[in-house]
Amino acid sequence: MKLKPGQVLFHQGDTGSLYHLKEGLLKIVRVKEDGTSTLVNLILPGEIFPHHSLLTQKEYFGTAVALLNSEVEIITSDSWYHELDQNPERLKEIALVLQEKLRMMQQRIDQLTAVKPAERFELAERWFRRHFPHLVLADVLNQEEIGQFIGVRRETVNRLLRKRCRP
């Protein structure tokens, strides 16, 4: 399945298939009752998601939206969970995937509490360039989303971006 930027793959609260992101970039946003959204995760090529449904099916925690042209493989719930029943070794693989995702989240939390906003922004840009060397973070995420991703207000992101543009 091909997605263009802005296209929704699934909505928060729905249930359904799992997905394998073959190429592109997706964001997971959590939508509040008042309609505002918060960026909670970025899905990179190679990931199978939603992560919280890898072992048992749950409602989608957030809404998945393509940020770049993306290709997604649909993995039906029946085939995924049947494979897990038939091949218990897959459980270890999933545990390792979840462990890596947890470590990444712990690292993000450490960065949110330990470094200054300018350093957080630089770390986020470096991380993004490592995965997408020909793209600029601020061209893919808006200032509000960058702020949510690094734990600062949109105004702080705006100030950091303006500082970079000065000669």
pLDDT of residue 166: 66
- 44 inside domain: yes
- 4 inside domain: yes
Total domains, the chain: 1
Q: What are phi and psi of 26, to 5 degrees?
A: -120, 150
108-164 per-position pLDDT tens digit: 787 777 688 999 999 889 989 999 999 999 999 999 999 999 989 999 999 999 988
The Cα–Cα gap between 12 and 47 comes to 19
CA distances from residue 7 to 3, 16, 65, 79 in whole angstroms, order as listed: 6, 17, 6, 25
The CATH number that applies at residue 15 is: 2.60.120.10
- 101 inside domain: no
Model pTM greater than 0.75?
Answer: yes
- 94 inside domain: no
- 167 inside domain: no
Which of 16, 10, 54 is CA-nearest to residue 28? 10
- 48 inside domain: yes
